[in-house]
Amino acid sequence: MKQFLLVFLGGGMGSALRYIISKHLNTNLPYGTFTVNIIGCFIIGFLLTYVSKSNFLSQNHVLLLTAGFCSGFTTFSAFAFENSLFLKQGDTFYFILYTLCSLIIGILAVFAGIWIAKVL
């Protein structure tokens, strides 16, 4: 239950910060969304790498900051980190498959949601 609450708390903080940044930076172009995606990718890459070599943070702190904050801030960070693991392991096929499927199917799912909402 404690881990659930840590993810919940971190996710709420990340989502709130994403909202604030996007509200101020999104104008004609989604600068805010781009900014949070890049910052989130940096944070998750740094944290997971630094913690794995130094044990600087406890497992609960890592959970709060990665699965919680970074995932609330942007799910793109988890996607990018997972892809970096595929590349690190030499799994180019899965890197390409995961990337293309995530983008194409994700965009198609948005269009499907739009279409279904219009039909109802």
Taking the CA atoms of 64, 69, 72 and 75 in sequence, report the sign of the dihedral they define. negative
Domain for residue 112, yes or no? no
- 36 lies in some domain: yes
Residue 86 lies in a domain: no
Average pLDDT, the chain: 91
Name the residue range of residue 59's domain: 2-74
Q: How many domains, in total, are found in the chain?
A: 1
95 within a domain of the structure (yes/no): no
Is position 96 within any domain?
Answer: no
Supply the Cα-derived Rg of the chain in whole angstroms.
16
What is the reported pLDDT for 89? 95
pTM here is 0.75
Q: What is the pLDDT of residue 30?
A: 83
Is the model more confident about 30 or about 24? Answer: 24
> What phi, psi does 67 have (nearest 5°)?
-65, -30
**Average pLDDT for residues 19-37, to the nearest whole number?**
88
Residue 87 within a domain = no
The answer to whether residue 39 is domain-embedded is yes
